[in-house]
Amino acid sequence: MSGVVAQGVKRSFGSVDAVVDATFHAMPGRITGLVGPNGAGKTTLLLMLASLLAPDAGRISIEGVDPVEDPAAVRRMLGWMPDALGAWPSLTARESIVTTARLHDMSVTDARTRADELLALVGLGDHAASPARVLSRGQKQKLGLARALVHRPRVLLLDEPASGLDPEARVQLRILLRELAAQGTTILISSHVLSELEEVVDDTVFLVAGSVVAGATAPVTRTYRVRLAAPDAPAAVADALGMSRELVGVDRGDALLVVADDAAAVGALRTLVNAGLPVLEFAPAQSALEASFLALRHPDPSLGRPAPPAPPAAPQEGGAA
């Protein structure tokens, strides 16, 4: 089976169960996001997929090859970018890439050509002659990505690749990953920046307490941010919807409204507008991926606060038309 496949993968460190049960399939030509809280086992799982750590149980397949049985074959087709990839401090950015290419059995000429291509691709052309020790955190991340791509891998494993990148570099990374996926590369990416991860992934694997949570989707109940061109938005929203003011949250002056479903959200917005409120913004307070993650961590979407009743679909008599 092509791509990355994990079946019942487990790994413990003494009495600590890092990965309890990981089963999923990251398919070629798609970007799969690996999401989970700190300590969920994401990095341990990635290390096993990268053939750097053997599982205690279960099976892993990288493009049909078991990394335990043939790690050399897996490493030839896999690009691995950990959260913090050690760099040879005295080597320049170009020399680091050339050295990595040579380790993949490229000729000196091909290695130098590939290094120049990658320096331009990741935006390090102006720092080609800079020693790795003087590069910033973000620049080292770019260098780590270039080294992961040096042998044109069919599978790419990325652990927090956007860490330390500036906004422009993050956008460029997303574009690059989409281009690689379009070329058929299997990409598995772990990140804590869920709003950005949602913009690039096709599929999501949720890992909680070392186990993959099957069928995790965005919860129906959502929290919406309501921004008004008027003071005391929470009170105004509560009054317009006929709700107790305690059921409407507040964040930086905006109202936070928990709605039961999409239909309730539509009804609430209609009611607010018909009540004459100057609505500037009415949108989910979190991305769908963030909402899914929080639902896994806190099954009660209101975090202990009772959800308000669904608002009426039309204004009450006497309300503004």
The domain ranges of the chain are: 4-213, 222-297
pLDDT of 318 reads: 45
CATH class of 222-297: alpha beta
CB 301 within 8 A of CB 221: yes
Cα–Cα distance for residue pair 44/85, rounded to 1 Å? 15
Segments in the chain below pLDDT 50: 217-219, 301-321
pLDDT of residue 193: 73
Is the dihedral angle over the CA atoms 228, 231, 233, 237 positive or is it negative? negative
- Judge if 4-213 and 222-297 fold alike in CATH terms: no
Are the CB atoms for 94 and 117 separated by under 8 Å? no
What distance in Å separates the CA atoms of residue 70 and residue 66, rounded to the nearest whole number?
6
35: tokens are 């999401």
User: What pLDDT shows up at residue 29?
Assistant: 95
- pLDDT the model gives residue 1: 60
* Residue 319 confidence (pLDDT): 44
Q: What are the beta bridge partners of residue 10?
A: 57
**In 3D, which of 297, 301, 289 has the Cα closest to residue 218?**
289
Q: If one looks up domain 4-213 in CATH, what number appears?
A: 3.40.50.300
Helix or strand or coil: residue 141? helix
Which residues share a beta bridge with 17?
A: 12
